[in-house]
Structure 1
């Protein structure tokens, strides 16, 4: 018995214009990963959008605070309960 994963129904339309060459490249790339054009474009656009959103987190620290921050990042995890809560947080777009 197979478990099938149901995709959410896409009910919103996005119109995009492309050159013939751009469309050909997209279609070829999509075929290489066994996807149709729509699935390929949506997947890549959503991934890039998520990366751009995540890159907007900026830390401005002086040298002393930066070194303290790095020291904490490299230290072994002591608060495993807090780490689990953090890892359970879902991104805003999910």
Structure 2
């Protein structure tokens, strides 16, 4: 049995400008992966965007606030319904 996976239809347009050299590098890299330019650019841009979004994890706290933060992390869940709502949220890119 052979299954085919369908990609979502791309119906939004993104216009970008590039130099001839940039376009040539992109086209060459895409060809190395057997992809067309659009698929290559979209996949790379989405992957990098997801990494940037997921990297937003550094924040600074003074000692007292850090200790309070750790206590909340390690303490029992006080709002089970709210916790479940957070766990159910799907990233916007999925």
The two structures have a TM-score, normalised by structure 2, of 0.67
Partner deviation per Cα, 1:2-37 (whole Å, 9 max, x = no partner) = 111110000000011111110000000000001000
Structure 2 unmatched runs, 5+: 74-83
Which structure carries more relative contact order (alpha carbon 8 Å, separation 6+)? 2
Structure 1 unmatched runs, 5+: 73-84
Give the structure 2 partner of residue 42 of structure 1.
42
The two structures have a TM-score, normalised by structure 1, of 0.67
Q: Which runs of 4+ in 1 moved over 4 A?
A: 61-66, 85-89
Give the structure 1 partner of residue 18 of structure 2.
18
Task: Indicate yes or no: 2:93 matched with 1:93.
Answer: yes
RMSD between superposed Cα atoms in Å: 2.6
- Number of residue pairs the alignment of both structures matches: 81
Distance 2:61 2:33 in 1: 42
Q: How far off its partner does 1:60 sit?
A: 2.6
Distance 2:23 2:91 in 1: 31
